[in-house]
Structure 1
């Protein structure tokens, strides 16, 4: 059963940043898989377009996304 502390972690700003980074990295990885690319990332508009746009962000900005992941990992492991 979830406690109040769990909900505070889930809705914290750094939790949202971690989710966003993981979502972008996952969609960029799925773009490289041919079957999933045609199925999941074929729509460019609407609700399914979010996956496509996250994949584009992950592939075009792969260096800043990777650096952001490293910084967030350092923050969570050592500072939090």
Structure 2
């Protein structure tokens, strides 16, 4: 699963959802989501997760349905 497109999509969705959750936790927000350097990837994923929360939630539901029932 890690070397397929399905695995990459699941990893991406979980990464975006996790970073968006970390943005809500004050202690983790100050430490992990600084927005500079390598940590900028976490910041950008958190911004995508919070601004596109409806699209991310729908795609998580669709991917869960796909992994559980179709694959």
User: What CA distance in whole angstroms lies between the structure 2 residues aligned with 1:46 and 1:71?
Assistant: 33
Q: Which has the higher helix share?
A: 2
In 2, Cα distance between equivalents of 1:41 and 1:14:
27
Tell me the TM-score normalised to structure 2 length: 0.97
Structure 2 counterpart of 1:49: 40
CA radius of gyration, larger in: 1
Number of equivalenced pairs: 71
Distance 1:58 1:10 in 2: 22
Question: 1:47 & 1:36 partners in 2: Cα distance?
Answer: 16
Match status 1:12 vs 2:11: no
Unmatched tracts of structure 1, length 5 or more: 1-8
Separation of aligned partners in 2, 1:12 and 1:29: 26
Gaps of 5+ in 2: none
1:62 aligns with 2:48: no
| Aligned CA-pair RMSD | 0.7
Other structure's SS at 1:11 match: coil
The answer for the alignment partner of 1:21 in structure 2 is 13
Cα distance in 2 for partners of 1:45, 1:15 equals 28
